[in-house]
Amino acid sequence: MASARSTFRSTGVAIRLTLLSTVVLGIAYPLAVWGVGQAAFHDQANGSMVTDSSGKVVGSSLIGQSFDGSSAARWFQSRPSAAGEKGYDANASSGSNLGPNNPDLVKAIRERQQAIAKADGVPASQVPADAVTASGSGLDPDISPEYALQQVSRVASARGMSESAVRTLVDEHTEARQLGFLGEPVVNVLELNLALAKAS
């Protein structure tokens, strides 16, 4: 009898602890984190969405996207993507998973190098590495300042703008190393293209 009472009491304690843990860790804590995120970091908590001049959401500053099609020459190009069938798929984030000596990867890099060199009017040997290789996630929204500056002449010509005006936009959208020493300077392609559209 005493043993049954003790078991019943232990079961009751376990149920109460389970309910308390569910309320605190499954409801209260997530709501608190969500609330702080919305209050203090609203843009970041909602995906760092970027809008155009009309207020329409055109992408996220954290996820790369393609600027191809018939008007591709008018836009700064992102680095290649192996995420998903068409690239830049946030639901299929990944690299190519091909080793540096893989014949398919070597061939793809050479083809990209030749195409970019022709489009931007530079020798193939001057095409930066980030112009021809995908990032590990396939979603990198940034390119190197070197790759951005290489594209200035093409973009300026396609838009009828002066190269100095386009170069100024690149300079304005070049982000320095984090804390002055972490990583490398980068240019966010989506934000640069939005500034370009606004200026031209």
CB 53 within 8 A of CB 128: no
Nearest C-alpha neighbor of 61 from the set 51, 53, 71: 51
Distance CA 48, CA 12 (A): 46
Please report the pLDDT score of residue 2 as a whole number.
Answer: 56
Evaluate if residue 40 carries a pLDDT over 60: yes
How far CA 127 is from CA of 71, 76, 88, 122, in Å, comes to 21, 14, 21, 7
- The pTM (predicted TM-score) of the whole model is 0.77
Q: Residue 185: its pLDDT value, please?
A: 96
**Beta carbons within 8 Å of 199's beta carbon, 6+ residues apart:** 161, 165, 169
What single letter denotes the amino acid at residue 10?
S
Return the pLDDT at 18: 93
Q: What is the mean pLDDT of residues 151-164?
A: 96
At residue 36, what are phi and psi to the nearest 5 degrees?
-65, -40
Q: What share of the chain is helix, strand, coil (3-state, %, to 5)?
A: 55, 10, 40
Question: Alpha-carbon Rg of the chain, whole angstroms?
Answer: 25
Average pLDDT in the 140-156 region?
A: 97
- In 3D space, the residue among 189, 199, 198 whose CA is nearest the CA of residue 60 turns out to be 189
Over pLDDT 70: what percentage of the chain? 98
What is the tens place of the pLDDT at every residue in 50-95? 887 788 888 888 899 999 877 899 999 999 999 998 899 989 898 8
Please say whether the beta carbons of 94 and 82 come within 8 A.
yes
* 131 DSSP 8-state letter: G
More confident residue, 151 or 43: 151
